[in-house]
Amino acid sequence: MKNIIEKINNLKNNLNKWGHAYYVLDSPIVDDAEYDKTLKELIELENQYPELITDDSPSQKVGGIVMDKFEKYKHKLPMLSLANAFNKEDLLNFNDQIKKEIENSDYNFFVEPKIDGLSISLIYNNGKFFKGVTRGDGIYGEDVTSNVKTIKSIPLSIEDQNDYVEIRGEVFLSKTEFEKINKQRQTNDEEIFANPRNAAAGTLRQLDSSIAASRKLDAFLYYFMDREKFHTHSESLSYLEKMNFKINDLGKICKSIEEVYEHILYIQSQRENLEYEIDGVVIKINDFDLYEKVGYTAKSPKWAIAFKFPAEVKTTKLKNIFPTVGRTGRITYNALLQPVQIAGTTVQAATLHNADFIIQRDIRIGGEVKIKKAGDIIPEVIAPIIDENYYKLNKWIEDTNCPICNSLLERVEGEVDQYCINSQCPRKIVRGLEHFVSRDAMNIEGLSIKIIEKLFENKFIENVGDIYKLNKYKNELIQLDKMGEKSVTNLLESIEKSKSNSLEKLFFGLGIRHVGKKTAKVLAVNFKEIDVISNINFNELEEINDIGPIVAKSVCDWFEIKQNADLIKTLKNEGLNTKYLGNEGSKNNDKITMKSFVITGTLSKPRNYFKEMLEEYGAKVIDTVSKKTDFLLAGQEAGSKLEKAQKLGIQILSESEFLEMIGE
């Protein structure tokens, strides 16, 4: 046995050394065949002696774990977002604000590319990889440990033997891997990913870790959370590199804001040559000791900022204009383009928004147009290129009929959009079903748009109520192309699980016009049951904070339609929960529960910390001060919200008064 242990350890050591050279240093020591042969030998030995398998073995990066769901994980410290700069003036203002806080201190900056991927937190216990967590909402993320383990550039064991080590970074897909995945998805008749960031996010959230392993995610690490260990950010990066983490080689210490700007321009000039996507540059004060002095706003640190690159603009030919129908019947016009490379991806289609947008810009089929990616995500046509031949092209004329059901399109007074108002329009139904099962609504996994279309075409579902009757057709579903017994079983389990969702998810999923996720939560918190909401009148609805006349009318109109009332009955008969199951009952305090709070100014902890605390007591946290506001929680530099609250006679609480109120 001693020889076996020694052999396994030698194999692991070689694989770790070769993997680090290949995936982190980009300097292979052996060829792929040698690496694969050694890995296979290790796996065979571990299969023979399963008691010798360790969590940090290279065999654990192969994947194969299938999860039912991802658990929520509360970050030890919030993962804050960064404020944005878009030009040199913004950078100078950023520097001026720092000077105000640390008047007589010398400081340097550290400048590094802003990777266009998915933020991740890695946690190690006693040198062993313990957990990988997504950013989520900054307070809670998702535990995606099994998928993070498959990322070859992330070590499963490190030299730092402390009982808690947290490192943050960005998971991404290389441009090459992104193109490869999309080609494969096209071959399989699957919807292609819009960009590498979406692909990375989708991959990291795969319940089957073998899929994540096959897609070859990568990661740059950029933040060591234990600031007590080092004086500067650059020192901490050197430490991470020593522990075999992948650190971006374009990072640089800059002694002045002018030098910062020069390095930003250099990184921007290298953007097209990089094998990964970046959408800007991150600038931090290098000295950790200054972070607390400079401080934080409610949403972001004041000692760091993200410089966002301007959207890349390209010129190409507009081959055609075609309309599509959304779940509300809204018509969106789209451009079919001569393929063009922009921001690292091949673009063949772009949005043209609505008919007025096209007419006002006089965009014509057959002409050259400028396109950009809005936020480096959605391609959009900005303007035509006018030359001597342009006006020989035919003027574009808006469609008058729905491209799917041929119903006459209508315009709502005062709005620019056209709508198909046929409630039986197949595309509206399919898009409505897609919205109902989406993550922010009923979160039914396994019902992709392709599967929904297939079920709709085969008359298994015609409305959302039919989703909950699919269990009667299990055998028939298994026979459908590309479904299979396992995927059908998982789908039916996910449908069953969704029945216990809280009311706000159902209410959002119903797709009532003007009712977004936040509004659905407001209605659920205030009225608790869908039957109460369905019988509420316009005036009572409009009185609720954050509910205006447009939303109130839309909700009342929706419930007046018999078809919708029948749908609610069907859902209740199928066992769906129609009550609010929120967290306001988790703690009770008569002074706070069901009261509305506005938070403003600089507090001892990020604003989300206090927001979450208030919501545990069933309080409503709103953004603007009005006569409906019960309390203003005010920190330092509270500004205009404090002035308005004083004028309206709203009770103002300091942080200490608030904590005393809740007994903490």
Report the C-alpha gap between 216 and 197 in whole angstroms.
14
Q: Which residues contact 266 (CB under 8 A, 6 or more apart)?
A: none
In angstroms, what is the C-alpha Rg of the chain?
Answer: 28
Is 107 annotated as a binding-site member?
no
Sheet with 596-600, strands from edge to edge, namely: 620-622, 596-600, 631-634, 651-653
- Give me 244's structure tokens: 């075999």
Residue 254 is labelled as binding a ligand: no
- Give strand pairing partners of 371: 314, 381
Q: Residue 515 half-sphere exposure, CB side, CA atoms within 13 Å?
A: 26
Rounded to an integer, what distance in angstroms lies between the CA atom of residue 398 and that of residue 375?
A: 28
Tokens 């290129």 locate to: 385
* Residue of 12, 61, 114, 152 with catalytic role: 114
Task: Mark whether 114 is an active-site residue.
Answer: yes
Residue ranges of the alpha helices (H) in 273-377? Answer: 291-294, 355-361
The span from the CA of 648 to the CA of 148, in Å, is 51
Q: Is 166 marked within a binding site?
A: no
For residue 432 the two structure tokens come to: 């409505």
Structure tokens at 412: 């709502």
Do the Cβ atoms of 552 and 540 come closer than 8 Å?
Answer: no
CA distance 125 to 656: 35
The answer to whether the annotation marks 308 as part of a ligand binding site is yes
Determine the straight-line distance between the first and last CA of the chain, rounded to whole angstroms.
57
Q: Which residues pair with 652 in a beta bridge?
A: 632
112 annotated as belonging to a binding site for a ligand: yes
Q: Which helix (H) or strand (E) holds 109?
A: strand 109-115
Tracing tokens 């050694």 back to the chain, one arrives at 38
Check whether 630 is labelled as a binding-site residue: no
Residue with tokens 């315009």: 411
**Residue 380 phi, psi (nearest 5):** -145, 140
**C-alpha span between 435 and 375 (Å, rounded):** 23
Residue listed under structure tokens 């029948």:
566
Query: Residue 460 corresponds to which tokens in the numbers above?
Result: 């298994």
Q: How far apart are CA 626 and CA 549, in angstroms?
A: 16
Nearest 10 degrees: CA dihedral of 244, 250, 254, 256? -150
566 is in an annotated binding site: no
- For 567-570, the CB contacts below 8 A with 24+ separation are 567/463, 567/464, 567/465, 567/510, 568/530, 568/534, 570/465, 570/468
Task: With residue 180 as reference, give the H or E element that holds it.
Answer: helix 175-187
Inter-residue contact 14 to 22 (CB < 8 Å): no
Q: How far apart are CA 339 and CA 349, in angstroms?
A: 8
CB 584 within 8 A of CB 617: yes
The angle at the Cα of 630, spanning 626 to 636, to the nearest 5 degrees, equals: 80
356 among annotated binding-site residues: no
Query: Does 34 carry a binding-site annotation?
Result: yes
425: annotated binding-site residue?
yes
Binding residues for NAD(+), by number, are 32-36, 81-82, 112, 135, 170, 284, 308
Binding residues for Zn(2+), by number, are 402, 405, 420, 425
Q: Catalytic residue numbers?
A: 114
